[in-house]
Amino acid sequence: MARNPATAKPPSQPAGRMTVRHYCQGIGDCHLLSFPKVGGGLFWMLIDCGVHSSVTGGTAKIAAIVQDIATQTKHIDVLVLTHEHTDHVSGFLTAADQFKSFSVDAVWLAWTENPADPQAKQLDKYKNDAVTALQAASQRLSAAAAPSDYITALHQGLDAVIGFSFGATGSKVRAARDAGIGLARGNIHYLEPTDPPMIRDDLGLRIYVLGPPRDAKLLGLTERASEMFGAQVATSPRSRALAVACAVSAAQTEIVDTGAPFDTYVGTPLDAVARAVGPEAAALASFVQDNYSGPAKPPARPNPSRKNLAPTTQPDRDQSWRRIDQDWLGISADLAMQLDSKTNNTSLVLAFEFIDTGRVLLFAADAQIGNWLSWQDRSWQVGDAQVTGPDLLARTVYYKVGHHGSHNATPLAKGLGQMHQTDLSAFVPTNALDAQKVGWGQMPYTAILKALATQCSGRVIRADSPWITGTGPGPEFQAPSGSIKSLSFAQNLWVELQLA
């Protein structure tokens, strides 16, 4: 593994109060934190260990990561599982054998993962219903005869989301999460945003739980135009309701279209026309294909005896565009996005505050707008003082960027706008090329990257920064500077920072 000697030099400023090794697996989170203990030794915390199922070679990458963790420590004081998504927990399943040699004292999860919590149970039911509906929609799309480009793309997108919930090898993301939980042998802590801060005098640290919120409206709020960097809010409650209704009805064997102009016994389904046999049926199928459903037939071979007649079907006669029989399933894409975003919003968000300096390190997991907005009303009694959510944001000097830098996971005013520290530095756990493959659009989101770069004076590190992937020079900033007291990295595997 190549280290960068230019940036790995000993810090001239005081040594870091916390070391974080961010693993660079592309789309996925795995962060190994260590805090020096008063009296010697280190306190180890592992936040997540996963990679998105569509990242090529992801399982091997996770194996390399767990092997590397073992070179640092085989004892984890606290394992944090931020939320139930493959790119945060897959490693506990795929590298289960490697994790067997670790000892884990405790696991921290959000209240949303507590099987005994009534509100968490409701969320779980929504999730299960939605996944079932999406699978049904996917099956219907598989059965579509001669699907249009739109339907093909929709089908691929839908399967990507379902794969995200169920993992590349068909194993459920829940099994991966539970494998992580199992490492702590029953010492499980479900954390609430109303909990008092955990005070660790031996580490000189206070740890605050910022989210996920109990407020159902905020928990369900994944986008708000006024808090987003130029992005449009894509969905409405009505389209969501329709999505559920349509996708759930897709699970039925026969769909009753109450908006159809004729009774169901009148007419023939398009797929049945295509499947019919016999000369009459073939003529009808050909007529329907030419005039209603497409696709275009290949141009007829020229027949010398019919010189003056054009081929019966021209390429420009493709009538696929007329078809709407499967288009209603398009609404399932909306449901899929909602399912994904809502699970992100159940992220356990932690803020680490150094007791003596008041400086804060924020680990936002994949929290979306509603999770962030709930911090505005948080307050904790600390001694004689009240500490508030905005107060913690104002003192943040290090930010693990939310949801891989997506458009709706770093709010404009009530997020970055409240981080005022000139020492601010940030890490984005994303590989933009992998994000394109997943079809998540622009991730990391350019407008957020620009705002971060300005506010962090360039101290924004990405999992795919050219100097980490070995494809270019850098980093562009000096270390030590800002909250980064020293920096080292292993090409394509990790970047390690000492922070203070």
DSSP state for residue 10 in the 8-state scheme? P
Instruction: Give the nearest distance from C-beta 499 to Zn ion in angstroms.
Output: 22
Instruction: Give the nearest distance from C-beta 82 to Zn ion in angstroms.
Output: 8
Report helix, strand or coil for 186. Answer: coil
Out of 366, 434, 464, 496, point to the residue binding Zn ion (CB under 5 A): 366
Cβ proximity to Zn ion: between 87 and 353 the closer is 87
Rg (CA), the chain: 27
Q: How many CA atoms lie within 13 A of 164 on its CB side?
A: 27
Segment interacting with Zn ion, rule: CB under 5 A, options 144-152, 187-195, 253-261, 358-366: 358-366
Cβ proximity to Zn ion: between 84 and 366 the closer is 366
Number of residues that bind Zn ion (CB under 5 A): 2
Q: CB count, 10 Å around CB of 381?
A: 10
Cβ proximity to Zn ion: between 77 and 87 the closer is 87
Cβ partners under 8 Å of residue 486, min gap 6 = 8, 9, 10, 11, 15, 16, 479, 480, 497, 498
Instruction: Give the nearest distance from C-beta 331 to Zn ion in angstroms.
Output: 25
87 binds Zn ion (CB under 5 A): yes
Return phi, psi of residue 246, to 5°.
Answer: -70, -45
CA 273, chain centre distance (Å):
42
Cβ proximity to Zn ion: between 85 and 459 the closer is 85
Segment interacting with Zn ion, rule: CB under 5 A, options 3-11, 170-178, 361-369, 446-454: 361-369
Closest CA to 164 of 79, 58, 298, 37: 58
Instruction: Give the nearest distance from C-beta 279 to Zn ion in angstroms.
Output: 56
Cβ proximity to Zn ion: between 343 and 421 the closer is 343
Instruction: Give the nearest distance from C-beta 167 to Zn ion in angstroms.
Output: 14
Instruction: Give the nearest distance from C-beta 87 to Zn ion in angstroms.
Output: 4
84 binds Zn ion (CB under 5 A): no
Q: CB count, 10 Å around CB of 473?
A: 8
Cβ proximity to Zn ion: between 77 and 366 the closer is 366
Amino acid identity, residue 462? R
Cβ proximity to Zn ion: between 154 and 428 the closer is 428
340 binds Zn ion (CB under 5 A): no
> What CA–CA distance (Å, rounded) separates 494 from 496?
6
Burial (CB < 10 A; 0-12, 13-18, 19+), residue 449, is buried
3-state helix, strand, coil in the chain (%, to 5): 40, 20, 45
Q: Give DSSP secondary structure letters for 409-478.
A: SS-TTTTGGG---TT-EEEE---HHHHHHHT--SSS-HHHHHHHHHHTTT-EEETT-HHHHTSS---SS-
Instruction: Give the nearest distance from C-beta 344 to Zn ion in angstroms.
Output: 7
Cβ proximity to Zn ion: between 354 and 399 the closer is 399
Instruction: Give the nearest distance from C-beta 27 to Zn ion in angstroms.
Output: 7
* Interface contacts to Zn ion, rule CB under 5 A: 87, 366
